[in-house]
Structure 1
Amino acid sequence: MDVSTFIDPAAMAIVGGGTLAAVILRTPAADLARALHALRVLPRRRFSAEPLLLQIGALARIAQRCGVVALDRTVITDRDLAAGIAAIVDGAPATEVEILIRDARRTRIERHVVAADVWAAAAEVAPAMGMIGTLVGLARMFASIDDVSAIGGGMAVALLATLYGAVLANLVLAPVAGRLRAAGRREASERLRIEAPLVALAARETPVHQLRSAA
């Protein structure tokens, strides 16, 4: 089979360019940037809260031995955990730490949903662009009906545009959206596991920290 038979620059430009233009026009720039940035998640391993739970345990032991203020000197790469520990060090009560961590988790969920929705919207647009390409190809074919040599070019655009739209939507864009949604659900579920240990640490250390500050 000659692969070049399935390559038509005009059909590619209509489907690819049309899909890109439609997504850009209907998506705020911040959401579009978030969707592109989310592609970094795809090659990574599934998110697990185990390293964070181990780190919380280690931080709890440090706080017990050296005081909660010592946690301010620890290196924490996860932003949500770092924000929770910073609140505990500042003497925030357990209820405030719980609200902070929950809000951070919800914000992450919203970002994941937005990114997945952008790719899902692109998957919806691509077949429509394929149909537009088909109409363009048919119009080109009928416009040159008297020129037998030009009919093949119009027919190629008409058929391949539909093919490109279906392939782009079902083999590229929709799978990306699905994997981003799955990754978002996984991360949201895993991050839920760190709330209770952080709240427990805050409940244990905050009264002690407040007493030391008052003294």
Structure 2
Amino acid sequence: MDRTSVIGLLIGLLAIGGGQILEGGHLGSLLQPTAMLIVIGGTLGAVMLQSPYIAFVRGLRMARWIWYPPLVNYPQMIQQVSRWSQVSRREGLLALDAMVSELKDEFTRKGLQLLVDGAEPERLREVLEVEIDTFEQEMKMSARIWEAAGGYSPTIGILGAVMGLIQVMENLSDPSKLGAGIAVAFVATIYGVGLANLVYLPIANKLKTHISRLIVQREMIVDGLVGIANGDNPRIIESRLRGYVPG
């Protein structure tokens, strides 16, 4: 589990709740079901309206990456590519054919199969880079649903505030109903701005970070496979791949 995400979210919520208490308020005053319905429901509807179904569903599923990031093991991958290069150098490319079925990742399996089939280095790079570009576009499109939610949420919050003020104006003659309308008005704005800056936008940025890591991993695989196709020394291939790994 990504503890940074958990701790960050808790700190944000505690800061807001603690500030409310220090100001002499009550946490219960921040709990307004009507305001929550307006902001969350309105934001959800706006995001669904702008997003293709597949991208929307994938984006929701990707939210689990906030707690459980996709596994990216650079050292293990470098070791694997280095082993392929050594086997290829000793026994030839066809010796790698037995290793293709052992791979679980479809992209890596396809790249190694192309290498075994004797694809030219430039053609191999071209085919795999097209797949990388497509993968990147699909993943970023899905991550953008959270970025879009961060853009719509404050505006929907203002909409909720206006609706609350309308209720206040309609009930000026009945003071008993004024409090609820004013509460919805102000709390809706808090929900809109708070969710955007504490939840939606941070999720979008974290997903982009994980997507970048996955892209780097695929680029390393392509670089390694092209190096093997070119007959580069295994040590040179390994050294070049280590240059991708951040310090």
Could you tell me the TM-score, scaled by structure 1's length?
0.86
In structure 2, C-alpha distance between the alignment counterparts of 1:54 and 1:110, rounded to whole Å: 28
Structure 1 residue aligned with 2:134:
107
Which residues in structure 2 correspond to 1:52-67 (within 5 Å)?
52-67=77-92
Residue aligning to 1:18? 42
Partner residue of 2:4? none
Structure 2 portions without partners, runs of 5+: 1-20, 233-247
Report runs of 4+ in structure 1 exceeding 6 Å deviation: none
Query: 1:109 touches 1:188 (CA, 8 Å); kept in 2?
Result: yes
Give the match for residue 236 of structure 2. Answer: none
Please give the root-mean-square deviation of Cα atoms over the aligned residues, in Å.
Answer: 2.1
Deviation per CA, 1:98-154: give whole Å up to 9, x if none: 112212222222123212321111100000110110011111111111111111111
Gaps of 5+ in 1: 206-215
**Does the Cα contact within 8 Å between 1:46 and 1:186 map onto a contact in 2?**
no
Higher RCO (CA-CA < 8 Å; seq separation 6+): 1
Distance 1:166 1:47 in 2: 33
1:201 matched residue in structure 2: 228
Note the C-alpha offset of 1:169: 0.3
Aligned match of 1:71: 96
Percent of aligned pairs sharing the same letter? 31
Q: Is the 8 A contact 1:88 1:202 kept in 2?
A: yes
Aligned residue number for residue 49 of structure 1: 74
Q: Does structure 2 conserve the Cα–Cα contact (< 8 Å) formed by 1:49 and 1:191?
A: no
Contact 1:133/1:161 (8 A) holds in 2: yes
Deviates more, 1:27-36 or 1:14-23: 27-36
Deviations 1:181-209, CA, capped at 9 Å, x for gaps: 2222333334333322211222349xxxx
The equivalent residue for 1:184 is: 211
Q: Return 85-94 or 3-12, whichever deviates more.
A: 85-94
- Following superposition, the deviation at residue 22 of structure 1 comes to 0.6
- Are 2:156 and 1:129 aligned? yes
Tell me if structure 1 keeps the 8 A contact 2:69–2:210: no
Equivalent residue for 1:3? 27
1:40 is aligned to 2:67: no
The Cα shift of 1:30 comes to 1.1
Match 1:150 to one of 177, 186, 197: 177
Alignment match, 1:91: 118
More moved, 46-55 vs 16-25: 46-55
Cα distance in 2, alignment partners of residues 113 and 127 from structure 1 = 22
Number of aligned positions between the proteins: 205
Partners of 1:55 and 1:149 in 2: CA distance? 71
